[in-house]
């Protein structure tokens, strides 16, 4: 969808702009550090933005010898903005639908599908790129964290700032809350 829109815009351009090779624009992309909005402590190193959250890497978690996190959705050193609702609260959906992006379906005890009505605009990063966060149990999981209970990562100042998704059958992602962190220049 995004590609189509970009193309349309380009076709409408009278003077096509010079486009730098991908590798070059990567290094030119402005890196930012995400800090806690409450205490200003840096929660990440410098990260550069991806145009969208990448597709989920294929991972046969049911075949894995040791349960553990999947390969990260977002490569190290990058971030992307989630445009769909994410995390708690989950509400009943009349039609079958994925609970939240890349997560698969969830149904309640009556067999009804549940979908996220959580916040949009989360900053999605590789969980290994975050530091200084403490896990705050918010929903049950077998070996990691799940986003269904909402924010589950606490800054050192005790503010909940992010949602970790790290259980073995889930995408491996950390969602920084757009309402609780902000980007600063390194």
Residues that bind Zn ion (CB under 5 A): 36, 38-39, 67, 142-143, 155, 157, 159, 167-168
Closer CB to Zn ion, residue 93 or residue 176? 176
Query: At 47, phi and psi to the nearest 5?
Result: -130, 145
Instruction: Count other C-beta atoms under 10 Å from residue 32's C-beta.
Output: 18
Name which of 125 and 155 has its Cβ closer to Zn ion: 155
**Is 23 or 142 the residue whose CB approaches Zn ion more closely?**
142
Q: What are the angstrom distances between the C-alpha of 30 and each of 140, 141, 176, 179, 185? A: 38, 36, 19, 21, 8
Radius of gyration of the chain (CA): 18
Instruction: Tell me the backbone φ, ψ of residue 148, rounded to 5 degrees.
Output: -70, -20
Shortest Å, Cβ 151 to Zn ion: 13
Strands 153-154 and 134-135: antiparallel
Q: How many CB atoms lie within 10 A of CB 38?
A: 13
Supply the minimum distance, in Å, between the C-beta of residue 177 and Zn ion. Answer: 12
At closest approach, how far in Å is the CB of 68 from Zn ion? Answer: 8
CB of 144 to Zn ion, least distance (A): 6
Q: Which CB, 115 or 168, lies closer to Zn ion?
A: 168
Residue 36 or 100: which CB sits closer to Zn ion?
36
Nearer to Zn ion, 97 or 143 (CB): 143
Q: What's the closest the beta carbon of residue 76 comes to Zn ion, in angstroms?
A: 22
CA–chain centroid gap for 65, Å, is: 26
Compute the least distance from the CB of residue 47 to Zn ion, in Å.
Answer: 18
- Residue 150 in tokens: 């909402």
Which token pair is 145?
Answer: 């964290």
Give me the torsion for CA of 81, 152, 131, 100, rounded to 10°. Answer: -30
């Amino acid at each position: 969808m995004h590609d189509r829109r970009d193309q349309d815009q380009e076709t409408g351009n009278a003077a096509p702009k010079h486009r730098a090779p991908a590798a070059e624009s990567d290094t030119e992309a402005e890196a930012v550090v995400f800090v806690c909005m409450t205490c200003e402590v840096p929660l990440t190193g410098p990260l550069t933005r991806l145009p969208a959250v990448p597709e989920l890497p294929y991972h046969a978690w049911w075949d894995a010898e040791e349960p553990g996190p999947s390969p990260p959705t977002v490569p190290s050193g990058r971030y992307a903005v989630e445009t769909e609702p994410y995390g708690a609260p989950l509400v009943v959906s009349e039609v079958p639908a994925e609970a939240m992006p890349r997560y698969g379906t969830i149904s309640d005890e009556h067999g009804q599908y549940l979908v996220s009505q959580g916040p949009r605009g989360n900053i999605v990063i590789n969980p290994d790129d975050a530091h200084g966060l403490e896990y705050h149990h918010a929903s049950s999981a077998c070996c990691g964290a799940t986003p269904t209970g909402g924010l589950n990562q606490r800054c050192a100042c005790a503010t909940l700032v992010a949602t970790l998704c790290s259980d073995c059958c889930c995408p491996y992602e950390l969602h920084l809350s757009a309402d609780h962190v902000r980007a600063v220049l390194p």
